[in-house]
Structure 1
Amino acid sequence: MSISRRAFLGGVLVVSAPIALPGAAEAAEEFAPNVFVRVDERGRITATVPTPDSGQGVRTMVALLVAEELAVGLDDVRLEQAHGDPARFGSQGVGSSSSARRLHEPMRRAAATARCLLVAAAARRWGVPVDECSARDGAVRHGRRVLRYGDLAREAAAVDPATVPVTLTPPERWRLLGRTRAGGVDAKAVVTGKARYGIDTRPPGALVAVVLRPQWIGALVDAVDDRAARAVPGVVAVTTLDPATSGQGGVAVIARSVPEALRGREALRVTWRGGTPTADSRQWLADLEAALPAVPTAPGPVVFEATYKLPLLAHAPMEPMNATAHLTATGLTVWAPTQDPGSLRRALAGQLGLAEADVRVEATLAGGAFGRRIESDPVLEAVACSRVAGAPVSVLWTRDDDMRHDSYRPMSVHRLSAAVDASGVPTWRAHGVATWPLTVFPFFDNPAVVKAAGDHFPYAVPGRVDVALRAAPLRTGFWRAVYAGHFQYAEENFLSELGHRAGLDQVDLRRRLLPADSRLRRALDAAAARAGAVRPGSTRGVACHDDYGSVIAIVADASEGRVRRVTAAVDVGPVLHPSGVRAQVEGGVMDALSTVSGAQITVRDGRVVQSSFRDYAWARIDQAPDIDVVLVRSDAPVGGLGELAYPPAAAAIASAIGRPVTGMPVNAEVG
């Protein structure tokens, strides 16, 4: 007898069918002034979350924004995840750390509109001025008189919105935003196993598919002997996937259960052709180094030059790739942990020749994304399998599949040169970069675009950055912070080495190169003050980053070759969810620690060597340093955060534990 993860964690078997809410059978009239907020006659508030949540806290942020403007508690807001429909919900993609920047104003205004209409309805019933009424705890009040929101739903729906001015709650009156230390709204469901991720989706009658994937990079199916696979009990069908239309290609085995599908895959006999069976990532790295742009002529003597080599990296989310699709004669339904359900819906309709109205994309919770779930290859596999099976099919990737068939962060090589003044402070710099474009998005096949995406050097040092691109020899894609993670790592470690050579304090060096009144200088001062003096026997790394409308400074302290403490000071403008800010910074720091300390993807004989967390050396909990996050508040517009911490954290950690830094990871051969 087997027991599911969900049954084990939750103590009960939770089926994947929707759970009926109490009273849902009797449809209550709803007051819905917009697509994002509804209030029914029982006073229940429902907020529609327009974009997916892959752990970055979008759902919690939406709940906080709506609760704040409707003057209710966080627990009073029920959440409903939007399906893919940009015409109705606006842009639904999550990437470039844009969720808070894009959603905070519309969601606040949507909830404030509902509140103002409810207050107007109460004022009309009482025959009193609107400004004598107030909203609090799910009710409108006038002196001793109280009307619950549910009692006002019908009347509020009849009020002409054009006649009611909408006012937002000013920050000085916030009760929840910027103040509550509440964790995620889904936290309890996650830790008890009740939260439904893409990998948990099983519509009625669903089958399961796994794919035998190309055995080396770029390989194509030559011949398939599937007789033994079809003979496995429970196997329903075997189909060859065309990489031009159905993901990355391979042979899919469709069965009634996961074990049966896996046994069927093991029984397949497939021969392969083409591709690069002798590919080696060490040679790729050498080719990039040979492609580095020439060093430009400096205005004075070049006193220091260094080269940094960065490896392939996999996304490795906790939830491997997966998708479920049901293709019928009348349309398509997809359930997937996607980062952009709206664009996915549009792409699927175009590829299948369907009207967008006949395609429905349900965005599930995602167990991590980091840029990987922008891509649609698991969904295309599920659609192809559903077409063959004539039923819903859930395509599941194993951990090995996920690690060895990713869209990797590209390799890169960086050569930096500098001239300095008499005190050792740089007065000119040159940064040459050789790397690959992102194959999943042709827009990046342009050196100017890569430079613009990666070069966020914040210091007052004139110079030049040149980028050389070479064709990527395997799939490459968006990886947390994209090219900024490459550029910042090299630039900050180079600056740190200049400081070491001149005997300069790392914080003081950066202070000299930042305007005194800048947000980044204030963040650096806050981080340095919290970190305090360097302790005897410790080494320190420092790095700063300005991106996504936010700034961050990182101070990393190490001893005996291990990072002990990381202090981060971050300014994201108005802090909407303090606990969420801290969690995002902590996640970026742990990603940085992992990649600096040993995690990398290597290729030998045409195949990715790493297959799981046993050899893709992600940091374990006993390696985690103390992480102290300082919130530096400012009146800047709301900034982005999800990708902000990784680049400076990687550079600061590397400088603290690996001097002199020559690449990533710091204590192993790169590539």
Structure 2
Amino acid sequence: MISRRGFLISTGAAALLVAVPIPGLAAADADLVPNVFVRVMADGRIVVTVPRPDTGQGVRTVVVLLAAEELSVSPEGIEVEQAPGDTAKYGSQLVANSFSVRQLFEPMRKAAATARCLLTAAAAGRWQVPVQECQARDGFVHHPARGSLSYGELAADAAALDPATVPVTLIPQDQWRFLGKEATRVDAADIATGRARFGIDARGPDALVAVVRRPEWLGATVSAVDDAAARAVPGVVGVVRLEAGRGIEGGVAVVAESTAAAIAGRAALRVTWTGGTPAVDSRQWILELAAAVPAPPAAPGPVGLDRTYRLPMLAHAPMEPLNATAGFTASGGLVVEVPTQDPGGLRGLLAQLTGLDPAVVTVVPTLAGGAFGRRFEVDFVLEAVHCARALGKPVQVLWTRDDDTRHDSYRPMSAHRLTAVLARDGIPRWRSHGVATWPLTSVPAFNNPDLVLASGDHFPYRVPGTPAVVLRPAPLRTGFWRSVYAGQFVFAEECFLSEAGHRGGWDQVELRRRLLPVDSRLRRVLDVAAQRAPRPEGVARGVACHLDYESAIAVLADVRLRDGTPAVSRVTAAVDVGTALHPSGVRAQVEGGVLDAVSTVLGAQITVRDGRVVQSSFADYAWARIDRAPEIDVTIVPSGLPPGGLGELAYPPASAAIASAVAALTGSPVTGMPVTAETG
């Protein structure tokens, strides 16, 4: 059995370069550069380098707040710089497993505190006073008798000090001025006004654009290409055949001077396809998984409830379609600008695949319009590199919305069979949970049931039982999707518990209170959520809890009929993320997970017919629009613990709570997702 810690280490997510003082980094004798994350310039400017990409989760804002607190300056006075891909310099740069804030909390505080302590020591030295008499605040070091000196005035003196000789102290939490308070995202204005630079904005004036004609059915490869008509389209400058393998699905790229020309050229291509699986149907896949679910072990009493759940494939559907811009320099180096979840890892992989020295490979991470696990992968980046090498010019590969939907790396299908022995009062006293699913093809290590369990199994209630997992080969590409396997496990377990409670006549909140330890974080957030959730007439309610990423959340979902169709009217959530550093960011993450749950429970799924993905865009991969968005109330429950993870926390319980509410409203038990259509 692989432990959860072992799983995290095996994926590389646990590695982080600690921001200890590093002598000799001063860029100039007038600037203070005590470590790779913080610079105090002679002109008073403060620049903070963010080591991990911002894919919408707001990590830039949290890093600025951490630095502002320890430097004792307003966040508005800090400039943000995104670190390029370089694990040797910055440590792990992977955005995954809700790790970013947890892993940056202490290092970024120490990095900024080091600069503050050096500046304070420099002022004490200039004034010849004890350092304890000096206080750094708002960009100055103050002394009651000697006056004040700005950080800029002190930068050169501070840079001359040996950081190893200066004690570093952190600002106590009870003295925080910025952390834990409401704050606007540092890039909010730029995003709202169009100044923010996303990957799709990275194409320079000399770059070409490419779109790819992708396989007509699953696994198909190019047999022949007639590109005469494509090359005749005005603006088309080249056609590049992309061989399948090494992370690429394969196809034919049309490279042009404009997006419109590239798309027109792609439409004019005549491609003959061969191989693959042109007749497969996802309805058969879910039947096969249901048949492969492990049989439950012998129960210690009569089985009072036996239910099977079927869960579909899901596409990532980021608002910004996949894209990457690549170009080779005159000296043979490679520069890639891309919205990625792992710039450091991508740099090393590109060096390996191209045969280049990592020193001449530059990965520039941009803002990303959503990721949810998809931008951890590199197929779209490799397509840009191949096209740039073939054309001898910088090329941006741009995926259309149809490409994104029909050629994704999907969340695996799964089937779950749960059984329970019920006590006389209807409360489960024993359970079993058999799972049949696919591994993640994007990470070969995940072809391992133990890793699936480490990702998915977080059952928090006092009901004995051990899940069992069977893996079947994935018939198409699969990858990380927000909350990975926990989204499936928690959905099945919480829906099952809700049905058991309904049969026993239990209030769903009280049922869970009975099964949670009195002093548990989950019971505390459950109580808070219940207190904040009024119960209007005409609604049905579902309840679910989740403990993961060192955080806890309880979700209550209210569903009513709207024009004869179930609609989510309100979702109440209480969340304990330990120390909430950016409260508005916490609420935004929970709200995003809730809207993903509304979308997938009430209709969105990926299906395959005749070897082809049916859905092509938001028109038929029906993500929740504003008219389906419920009122969402999020309460942050402080616990004083270190910061926990959040980005993937809300989706699993929100989806289960919504589905259970629909079941209570309609009187039909949950048998899978979506609740409004056949799975698969």
TM-score normalized with structure 2 length: 0.94
Matching residue of 1:113: 114
For 2:339 and 2:429, locate their aligned partners in 1 and report how far apart those are by CA, in whole Å.
48
SS of residue matched to 2:123: helix
Tell me how far apart the structure 1 counterparts of residues 269 and 80 of structure 2 sit (CA, whole Å): 44
Contact 2:242 2:250 in 1 (8 A): yes
Alignment of 1:622-637 (within 5 A): 622-637=627-642
Partner deviation per Cα, 1:636-656 (whole Å, 9 max, x = no partner) = 221100000000000001111
The answer to whether the 8 Å contact 1:84/1:363 transfers is yes
Are 1:493 and 1:652, in contact at CA under 8 Å, matched by a contact in 2? yes
Q: Whole-Å Cα distance in 1 between the matches of residues 631 and 80 of structure 2?
A: 34
Pairwise CA distance, 1:74: 1.0
Amino acid in the other structure paired with 2:375: R
Does residue 581 in structure 1 map to residue 581 in structure 2? no
Pick aligned residue for 1:491 from 493, 497, 505 = 493
Amino acid at match of 1:548: Y
Aligned-residue Cα RMSD (Å) equals: 1.2
Which residue pairs with 2:37 in the alignment?
36
Q: Contact 1:28–1:40 (CA<8 Å) still a contact in 2?
A: no
The answer for the alignment partner of 1:505 in structure 2 is: 507
Offset of residue 529 of structure 1: 1.1
CA displacement 1:538-567 (0-9 Å, x = unmatched): 211100001011110111112222211111
- How far residue 98 of structure 1 moved from its aligned partner, in angstroms, is 0.1
Q: Secondary structure at the match of 2:167?
A: coil
2:68 is aligned to 67
The question of whether the paired residues in 1 share the 8 Å contact of 2:29 and 2:156 is answered with: no
State the percentage of identical aligned residues. Answer: 67
Q: Which residue of 1 aligns with 2:525?
A: 523
Output the CA distance in 1 between the equivalents of 2:165 and 2:466: 56
1:648 is aligned, of 646, 653, 671, to: 653
Corresponding residue SS for 2:340? coil
Q: How does 1:302-381 map to 2 (within 5 A)?
A: 302-328=303-329, 330-381=332-383
Partner of 1:31, secondary structure, is coil
Match of 2:186 in 1: 185
Counterpart of 2:386 (choices 384, 387, 391) is 384
d(CA) in 1 for partners of 2:464, 2:317: 38
2:675 matched to 1:662? no
The residue that corresponds to 2:269 in the other structure is 268
* Residues 171-210 of structure 1, C-alpha deviations (whole Å, 9 max, x = no match): 100000002x112111111111111100111234111101
3-state DSSP class of the match of 1:428?
Answer: strand
Distance 1:128 1:521 in 2: 53
Question: Contact between 1:246 and 1:381, CA under 8 Å: does it hold in 2?
Answer: no
Distance 1:184 1:91 in 2: 24
1:445 corresponds in structure 2 to: 447
Q: How many angstroms apart in 1 are the aligned matches of 2:389 and 2:597?
A: 42
State the 1:361 CA deviation: 0.2
Q: Which digits, 9 at most, give the CA deviation of each residue in 1:380-438, with x for residues without a partner?
A: 00000001100100000000000000000011111110001111110000111111000
Mapped partners of 2:60, 2:334: distance in 1: 26
Q: Distance in 2 between matches of 1:312 and 1:78?
A: 41
Shift of 1:27: 8.8
1:78 partner SS = strand
Asked if 1:211 corresponds to 2:174, the answer is no
Which residue of 593, 597, 602 maps to 1:597?
A: 602
- For the Cα contact (< 8 Å) 1:411–1:436, is it kept in 2? yes
Aligned to 2:149: 147
**Cα displacement string for residues 266-320 of structure 1 (whole angstroms, at most 9, x for unaligned residues):** 1110000000101110011111111111121100000111111101100000000
Would you say the 8 A contact 1:246–1:384 is kept in 2? no
Per-residue CA distance 1:126-181 (angstroms, 9 max, x = gap): 111111110111100001601010000000001121221100101100000002x1
Preserved CA contact (<8 Å) 2:30 2:159: no
1:467 aligns with 2:469: yes
d(CA) in 1 for partners of 2:83, 2:106: 18
Structure 2 residue 248 is matched with structure 1 residue 243: no
SS at match of 1:648: helix
- What residue in structure 1 maps to residue 13 of structure 2? none
Tell me by how many angstroms 1:36 deviates. 0.2
Match of residue 564 from structure 1: 569
Counterpart Cα distance in 1 of 2:165 and 2:499: 63
CA distance in structure 1 between the partners assigned to 2:395 and 2:211 by the alignment: 10
Distance 2:174 2:274 in 1: 66
| Separation in 1, partners of 2:585, 2:400 | 30
- What do the CA deviations read for 1:227-264 (whole angstroms, capped 9, x no partner)? 11111111111011011146210000111111111111
How much does 1:667 deviate? 1.5
Alignment of 1:396-411 (within 5 A): 396-411=398-413
Determine helix, strand or coil for the equivalent of 1:531: coil
CA–CA distance in structure 2, aligned partners of residues 233 and 245 of structure 1 = 32
Partner of 1:99: 100
Q: What letter matches 1:365 in structure 2?
A: L
1:119 and 1:658 map into 2 onto residues whose CA distance is 62
Contact kept, 8 Å, 2:29 with 2:159, in 1: the verdict is no
The Cα shift of 1:658 comes to 3.0
For the residue of structure 1 that corresponds to 2:279, the secondary structure is: coil
Check 1:395–1:28 CA distance in 2 against 1; reply closer, same or farther (3 A cut).
farther
Cα drift, residue 621 of structure 1: 0.8
Question: Distance in 2 between the 1:338 and 1:428 partners?
Answer: 44
Q: Which residue of 2 aligns with 1:422?
A: 424
The answer for unaligned runs of 5 or more in structure 2 is: 1-26
C-alpha distance in structure 2 between counterparts of 1:542 and 1:271, whole Å: 52
* Paired residues, number: 644
Q: Does 1:606 align with 2:606?
A: no
- Cα 1:113–1:595 shift into 2, 3 Å: same
For the residues of structure 2 that align with 1:250 and 1:277, how far apart are their CA atoms?
Answer: 16
What is the CA distance between 1:524 and its match in structure 2?
0.9
CA drift at 1:451: 1.4
Partner of 1:18: none
The CA distance in 1 between the partners of 2:31 and 2:267, in whole Å, is: 53
| Cα displacement (A) at 1:28 | 9.2
Q: After superposition, what is the alpha-carbon deviation per residue over 1:456-490, rounded to whole angstroms, capped at 9, x for unaligned?
A: 10000001211111100000000000000000000
Q: 1:278-297 alignment to 2 at 5 Å?
A: 278-297=279-298
CA contact (8 A) 1:658 1:667 kept: no
What amino acid is the match of 1:379?
Answer: V
Distance 1:334 1:143 in 2: 52
Q: Which residue type is aligned with residue 539 of structure 1?
A: A
Alignment match, 1:11: none
CA distance in 2, matches of 1:199, 1:182: 27
- Structure 2 counterpart SS, 1:553: strand
For the residues of structure 2 that align with 1:500 and 1:140, how far apart are their CA atoms?
Answer: 63
Letter of the 1:545 counterpart: H
Report the CA distance between 1:29 and its aligned residue: 3.6
Please tell me the residue identity of whatever aligns with 1:487.
F
